[in-house]
Amino acid sequence: MPRLLSSSLIAIAAAFALTACNEPKDTHPGQPVTKRKAVFKQMVRTLEPMGMVARDRKEYERQEFLANAQELKQLATQPWVYFTPDSDYPPTRAKPEVWQKPAEFKQAQEKLQSAANLLAKAAESGNLETIRPAVNEVQKSCKSCHDQFRSSGP
């Protein structure tokens, strides 16, 4: 069974890699889509190890976790400036609702920033019982925003 799972994951990764090859290049001035995607990718790379710790799949290293939480707090403020009115073009995955419902989009941003701030405070405590729900809140915030404002594919 593990071999089948491993093979399946490799096939899925290959499919995603091929899909990315067909993705249009961001040739617009300032490349806002490319810049916001880079911030979001860094957010994922920063959040993933914390999620692993929260689910007991990775050993808790206090300093590493704290550094990731502080980085995520900073990153949570960064991608929003790249959602300019002229940045609704391929390769964006942003739904039209980003621009049609700016107040709701702003609330989603604030929810993420608040959750990231709480996670950073929880990380300072070093208490895993405080940290786990804080990681969950960040992940729920991400999912909620994706559900409302991000399309599932290119």
Annotated binding site for heme c: which residue ranges?
A: 142, 145-146
Question: Residues within the annotated binding site?
Answer: 142, 145-146
The sign of the dihedral angle between the CA atoms of 139, 140, 143, 149 is: negative
Amino acid letter at 154? P
Helices (H), 55-127: 62-75, 97-100, 102-125
CA dihedral sign, ordered 93, 46, 118, 128: positive
Inter-residue contact 50 to 119 (CB < 8 Å): yes
Q: Please, what's the largest Cα pairwise distance for the chain?
A: 49
Rounded distance between C-alpha atoms, residue 65 and residue 72, angstroms? 10
CA distance 104 to 148: 9
